């Protein structure tokens, strides 16, 4: 659908309603509907091969947080740089999850990955913040690394909302610069409630019906949409049941706005 906008006495070019109705607001980014996390070289390579086979239908998140072996954090970050720059990364649709704010290696991740693959990475994912100030500090550090490396582009930032503290300040987080996606981190969020949310809620139907999870998801989506940021639903644990995965995705969209 298109419409004609009239300015003064002249007829302007045809404009799509989303451009006319929301003029001046931050445009929503267009990203794939699916994201796959992989930590080891074997699994990242396998994911890249599948991505190439399917023609770039999904993003890949190369994982430093859960992927790096203790004591080999530097080597793992260097591995990710190598994979980012490899011929397998044809679609340039792979991001990186760095270590969280409380882990001293997050700055090392940035110092290695940004200058080494800053022109290639699709995004950087920040996990487990407990305050907006932590996310702001990490984004500022990334911005300085980008500038120091002579990179002209903004690297999109994804933030995992998986703690009570982050959820309390989700509106502040959503308004931070370079932010592209707010992810709901279901498993850590449930763990952080110390038994108040049963483990059964890591899967359907509980993940959509427990009141604390419903509140968390609704607040995240509202904050994201108000700031031109994409709200991303948590992972699915039913990968072998395609129909259940489909139903989970549909319910996340239809009931919560993901």
Q: Which residues are annotated as a binding site for substrate?
A: 97, 162
Element (H, E) at 5: strand 3-7
User: Which pairs from 192-197 meet CB under 8 Å and 24+ separation?
Assistant: 192/162, 192/163, 192/164, 193/164
**How far, in Å, CA of 186 to CA of 21, rounded?**
34
Instruction: Name the binding residues for Mg(2+).
Output: 162, 188
- Could you tell me which residues are annotated as the binding site? 97, 162, 188
C-alpha separations of 216 from 85, 127, 208 in Å = 37, 16, 11
The SS3 assignment for 183 reads: strand
How many angstroms from the chain centroid is the CA of residue 144?
Answer: 21
Classify residue 97 by burial, with Cβ atoms within 10 Å: 0-12, 13-18, 19+.
buried
The structure tokens listed for 200 are 């059964």
């Amino acid at each position: 659908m298109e419409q004609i906008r009239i300015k003064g006495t002249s007829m302007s070019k045809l404009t799509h309603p989303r451009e006319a109705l929301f003029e001046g607001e931050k445009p929503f980014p267009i990203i794939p509907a699916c994201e796959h996390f992989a930590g080891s070289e074997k699994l990242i390579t396998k994911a890249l091969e599948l991505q190439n086979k399917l023609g770039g239908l999904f993003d890949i998140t190369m994982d430093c947080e859960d992927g790096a072996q203790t004591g080999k954090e530097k080597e793992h970050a260097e591995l990710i740089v190598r994979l980012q720059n490899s011929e397998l990364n044809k679609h340039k649709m792979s991001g990186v999850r760095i270590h969280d704010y409380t882990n001293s290696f997050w700055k090392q991740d940035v110092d290695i990955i940004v200058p080494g693959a800053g022109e290639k990475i699709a995004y950087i994912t920040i996990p487990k913040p407990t305050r907006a100030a932590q996310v702001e500090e990490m984004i500022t550090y990334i911005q300085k690394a980008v500038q120091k490396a002579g990179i002209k582009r903004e690297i999109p930032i994804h933030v995992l909302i998986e703690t009570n503290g982050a959820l309390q300040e989700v509106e502040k987080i959503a308004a931070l610069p370079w932010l592209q996606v707010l992810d709901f981190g279901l498993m850590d969020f449930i763990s952080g409630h110390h038994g108040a949310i049963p483990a059964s809620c890591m899967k359907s139907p509980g993940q959509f019906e427990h009141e604390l999870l419903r509140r968390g998801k609704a607040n995240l989506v509202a904050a994201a949409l108000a700031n031109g940021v994409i709200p991303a639903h948590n992972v699915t644990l039913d990968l072998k049941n395609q129909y259940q995965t489909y139903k989970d995705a549909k319910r996340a969209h239809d009931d919560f706005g993901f």
